Amino acid sequence: MRLALICSLCAMAGLAPGQTRPRARDLGIVTGTLPTGPLNAITDVAGVLVGHTTLIRGDKIRTGVTAVLPHAGNLFRDKVAGAVFVGNGFGKLAGSTQVDELGEIETPILLTSTLDVPRAADALLDYMLALPGNAGVRSINPANAGQFLTKEFPRLFSFVLRL
């Protein structure tokens, strides 16, 4: 409840140009039990890689894709433990059933706009099947999710993954 109230107040307050929003931790909100890393970022975790690209077109289109790699190796051959948390159930999600059932992730995780989730999954399959040792693989579970990120909803990405 406290978190929702603080988030609402921060969102309503509005920021003047040049101001930054306070981080949750700066407002006394601490999640988890472990201390943060030096950058307070996902990349503080050893071996985790993150890539991102943004598309801006005119005044209405702001979208992008983020790739999170739990490690730099072949995730299909060296899977990692994983779980799914649904925050609001509004966006699109691919790959969650297998993650829930097996408790592991076998591909990089892609975050993108809702309408690009199928394209991201397709590109993720191409990327994974092209990795050495995966030529004979017959089933890969691409993990990706999307939310509305733009005022207009064109399918903007033509994915070619080079991770």
My answer on whether 115 and 60 are in the same domain is: yes
* Domain count of the fold of the chain: 2
Domain containing 3: what range? 1-33
My answer on whether 87 and 69 are in the same domain is: yes
Q: d(Cα 36, Cα 91) in Å, to the nearest integer?
A: 28
With beta carbons less than 8 A apart as the criterion, state whether 156 and 67 touch. no
* Mean pLDDT score, 96-120: 89
Would you say residue 136 lies in a domain? Answer: yes
Would you say residue 111 lies in a domain? Answer: yes
Distances (CA, A) of 32 to 25, 82, 108, 121: 11, 17, 24, 31
Would you say residue 126 lies in a domain? Answer: yes
My answer on whether 8 and 58 are in the same domain is: no
My answer on whether 44 and 64 are in the same domain is: yes
pLDDT digits (tens, 9 = 90+) for 116-138: 888 888 889 999 999 999 988 98
* Average pLDDT, rounded, for the chain: 79
